[in-house]
Amino acid sequence: MEVIQRRCVDLPVGGFRLERGGLQRGEVGVFADAAAAFRARVPIRYSAARWDRAYRRITRDSFRTVPFYRERWALTPGSRVITVDEAHRRGPDLIPLGGGAEETDERHSHRSITRFAVALGAAHCRAGGNGGQVTTADHLADPDSPSLPGTLLRDPMLGYLGVVGDCGFWHLLWPEVYARRTELGIAVTLLQQQSPRLVDVLLSGSAAVTISLCLRHGCPVLTTPRC
């Protein structure tokens, strides 16, 4: 059963198609049951196409309304990724022209990741409180980094980005967080946050991290060479 729970498949660059095959006899039913239970707790079923569309919408709007991205993408169209340090330095320019908050809403981030953790079978998790350990992206590839169910992935600027499910994988908070693999590492976009607008922010220490699909829960996970 442990082997079944820890299965995942890599997502090819530029696409999110789950390839057929590779499952042993009897596993399909196990995954179907687990996926059905997960969908019952998460009202919006993961769809790679919808995920990509949400990312494209936020990037288009950011180009139109956020000074930093309008300047950056117009001058250097081939360089979309920014570092956390650069986002900190240009903080005022990440606020849309219509105005908005200057920092990520931590309370909203807490609520979202807690609900998501419960849906993934990490019911004991409490964001920033009882039970849930917290780590940063710098420790994803560290073999000594905690990866028990309920462990939270948090960035000081981006907020809570993911959680370890009962399958043992780092699940992205995909309804609110988009991630894509770049030459420098994993670039993250906050899909729901309007201000400050954080698009294609590079997670430090993510050079060896890839994005895969958890077959048990049917949604994206961050994997490292040790997975």
Residue 149: both structure tokens together: 């169910």
3-class secondary structure for 34-99? Answer: HHHHHHHHCCCCCCHHHHHHHHHHHHHHHHHHCHHHHHHHHHCCCCCCEEHHHHHHCHHHHCCCCC
CB 164, CB 170: distance < 8 Å? yes
Cβ neighbours for 105, distance < 8 A, ≥ 6 positions apart:
159, 193
Pick the closest to residue 164 from 179, 175, 154 (CA basis): 154
Q: Is the dihedral of CA 177, 158, 215, 43 positive or negative?
A: negative
- pTM (2 decimals)? 0.79
d(CA 210, CA 185): 8
- Paired strand residues for 152: 134, 163
Domain residue ranges of the chain, discontinuous segments joined by +: 26-223
Pairing of strands 8-10, 210-214: antiparallel
The pLDDT value recorded for residue 115 is: 87
pLDDT the model gives residue 8: 55
For the chain, what is the radius of gyration of the CA atoms?
17
Residue by residue, pLDDT tens for the chain (227 residues) are: 233 334 555 543 333 333 333 333 333 333 344 445 445 555 468 899 999 999 999 999 999 999 999 999 988 877 789 999 999 999 999 999 999 999 988 888 888 998 888 888 765 555 444 446 888 887 777 766 667 888 899 998 999 999 998 888 999 999 999 999 999 999 999 999 999 999 999 998 899 899 999 988 899 999 876 65
Residue 147: other Cβ atoms inside 10 A: 19
